[in-house]
Amino acid sequence: MPQSYDAILAAPFCHLGACFSGTSLTRLDFLPATTQLTAMPDERIQRLANELAAYWCNPAHRFDLPIQLAGTPFQLRVWQALMEITPGKPITYGALARQLGTAARAVGQACGANPLPILIPCHRVVSAQGLGGFMHAASGAPLDFKNWLLQHERQDHERPPPTSPPSPAGGRGSERHAQTDQRRAD
C-alpha cells in the first residue's frame, strides 16, 4: 500500500514526501523524481519548503521546525547525537558508537530507522571503509542520496551543487513502527 503524504516537495536529487501530525513534521521520505509534486496549501508545508530551500543554499543551515519523533529510547538518543554532527565533518559508526557507549551496528540500525533524514542528518555517519549504508540499504539510490548530501555539505559555496544521482525505482519504505513519542521544537 503506498504511503500517504501531506506534501510532496522537490529536492535537487529527488522528491521528498512529508507527513505531519498537527503542525509537527513526523516523517520525510525520499521519493522518485517522477512523483507528482503537491501545491503548498498551508503554512506548515510552506515552512518546511523554506527550511529545505535554506539548507540547499547553505548546508550549515540549522532547521527550525517543530518535529515529532517516534522511536525507542535508544533510537531517540542516537538521533539526538546525529543532530550534533557538524555539516561537512562526517563521523564513523564506530566513533559515534564509542561516544554513546554502544555498538556500531546498533548505531547503524538507529540511523536506518531515522524518520527525518536531512533534518536528523544520519547521512553524516559513514563506515570506516567508505560510505556505509543508508536507509537500511547497502547500494542503489539510497547511497546515491547519501553521497549527494555529503558532497553538498563538503562543497565550497562558490561551486555549483553536485550532480543529481539517478532517481530511485521506488521510494523509501514505511515499515517503521512507533514505540515512544518525543516532541521537539527547536
Per the domain annotation, does 2 fall within a domain?
Answer: no
Calculate what percentage of the chain has a pLDDT beyond 70. 82
Q: How far is CA 108 from CA 82, 104, 124, 135, in A?
A: 11, 6, 11, 9
Is residue 1 assigned to a domain?
no
The structural domain count of the chain equals 1
Q: Domain range for residue 77?
A: 7-185
Catalytic residues, by residue number, are 122
Judge whether 36 lies within some domain: yes
CATH code of the domain in which 18 resides: 1.10.10.10
The verdict on residue 123 lying in a domain is yes
Condensed to tens digits (0 to 9), the pLDDT of residues 151-162 reads: 999 974 344 555
Is the residue at 125 inside a domain? yes
pLDDT tens digits, 75-88 = 999 999 999 999 99
Task: Provide the pLDDT for residue 152.
Answer: 93
Measured CA to CA, the distance from residue 118 to residue 137 in angstroms comes to 16
Judge if pTM exceeds 0.75.
yes
Task: Tell me the pLDDT tens digit for each residue of 121-171.
Answer: 999 999 999 888 888 888 888 888 999 999 999 974 344 555 544 444 444
